[in-house]
Chain A
Amino acid sequence: MSSEKQRLSEEEFQDRVAAYCLGALPPEEMAEIEAELEHSPQLREAVAAYDASIAALALAPAIQTPPPGLRDRVLAQVGEAAAPPADRTMRVLPAPKRRFNEYLPWLAAAAMFLLAVVSGARAWTLQNDVTDLQQALSTTQTVPMENSSAAPNAQGRFYLAPDSHRGVLVVADMPPLPSDREYQLWLIRPDGGRESGGTFRVDSGGYGTLLVQASQPMHQYTGVGVTTEPMGGSVAPTTSRVIGGSFQKARDDY
């Protein structure tokens, strides 16, 4: 006989079990029984004895057909939840601040993952993740960002696959911006011309990411730079570079 049953009469014990099965006890008593279930075979047996009765209550309600759009909404929400883990985690990752370097290997993997799969060409599965990541790891080049007096503590990396049109910028400790301005990334052509790679903002830790889709393969550019621009971006840089990096220098260093 369990300790539970020793304290209570058989009837009281059964009353309590019935109430538990119906979820009709206060939360603390529900938790007590949950704990007791772990080590009391008698209690588990008593609870199991009501399985069929509880199933009857669960399945007895009049049949209601779910509305047609609900299935799509469930799958859409799950699709968001199952977005590439790198993308999801990067958004919630606390601002790295001075520990940026500690995140580098992880950020690199995350960025490569984005490079590989963010275009969504393939259905997302774990196996596809692994395959894409392996492919990306073998081709991705890392370009360290050099800061300027405008952002003396800023750190960043630009990840690119030379033969692809995509790159990922990851920055930390960038200066905060007023609400009417944002950062803009520029791809630098060999003739010195600039092509916008998109705009981004940073969080309270100065942390931000940007996925870049270029018009040419990345090996056609010599580097990237980041400036502050009015919200929505500019057609050409209107301020001095905050951070930037040279693809050629990165290749030479490598």
Chain B
Amino acid sequence: MAYTNLSDEELMTRCAHGEREALAVLYDRYATPVFSLVMRMLGAGMTAEEVTQDTFVLLWRRAEQFSAERGRLLPWLLTIARNRAIDELRRRQTGPAEVELVDAVGGYPGLEELTLQRIQMRRALAQLPDAQREALELAYYGGMTQQEVAEHLSLPLGTIKTRMRMGLQRLRDLLQETATLHDES
């Protein structure tokens, strides 16, 4: 059986039935974005590998809970990874890994579309005002609450709330603009 030709949803159904080859294909598809996110949150080291491992084991164990009607697999998987990484951050009670945004753009093998999306996303993020991007990154990658971000930056809570809201809205607008440009080109 050519598992590599199956959709995410079909592979998840097979995971729920205990077919490890289905998990192997999902790992090949998504281990890179999962590991990249976890590394961004935790930095290099065994812990990032362990969290990535946990993420795929949880994917396997919760395969029955996945419903394609409620969304695509990758965001679900990244949410699991992020939650696990936040658990680890809280356990460590340290700050997020060093902020970095601009690097050489690589590629996800076999995931050209995702690579293109990712380039657009990075460009959009890079165009955010620094203050907004910082608030988003501390919350999303650092696992901080808005209160904790406010304390971390010694700023009023209201300021952080506004930066988060405006940052997400601006990011959405930038992504829409990029998508429109891409469609027109």
Contacts and interface: CB of A to CB of B under 8 A. Distances in A.
B35 A53 contact: no
A70 B49 contact: yes
A59 interface: yes
Interface string A64-81: 111100110111011101
A62 B48 CA distance: 14
Interface residues of A, number: 45
Given A66-B52, A78-B60, A55 B23 contact: no
A113 to B, nearest CB: 13
Interface string A117-152: 000000111100000000000000000000000000
A51 interface: yes
Interface stretch (A22-30, A96-104, A166-174, A202-210): A22-30
B175 interface: yes
B53 A24 contact: no
B32 A79 contact: no
Interface string B16-50: 01111001100110011101110110000000010
A14 interface: yes
Contact of A60 (B24, B101, B108, B145): B101
Interface core residue of B61, B136, B144 (most chain A CB under 10 Å):
B136
Interface string B92-133: 000000001101011110000010011001101100000000
Interface SS of chain A: helix, strand, loop or mixed?
A: helix
A53 B175 contact: yes
B118 A60 contact: yes
Contacts of B140: 22-23, 54, 57-58
B33 A14 contact: no
Contact of B60 (A51, A64, A73, A81): A81
B36 A125 contact: no
Given A62-B103, A67-B49, A49 B19 contact: no
Given A15-B162, A63-B108, A66-B52, 17 more contacts: A18-B167, A18-B169, A19-B165, A26-B145, A54-B140, A57-B141, A58-B33, A58-B78, A60-B122, A61-B141, A62-B106, A63-B105, A64-B32, A73-B53, A74-B27, A74-B56, A125-B19
Interface of B: 17-20, 23-24, 27-28, 31-33, 35-37, 39-40, 49, 52-53, 56-57, 60-61, 75, 78, 82-83, 86, 100-101, 103, 105-108, 114, 117-118, 121-122, 124-125, 136-137, 139-141, 143-147, 149, 161-162, 164-165, 167-169, 171-172, 175-176
Q: Which 5 A-B pairs have the closest CB atoms?
A: A61-B40, A56-B121, A24-B139, A63-B106, A18-B165
13 contacts: A18-B161, A22-B140, A22-B168, A24-B144, A25-B145, A26-B145, A63-B106, A64-B32, A66-B52, A71-B28, A74-B56, A74-B57, A81-B60
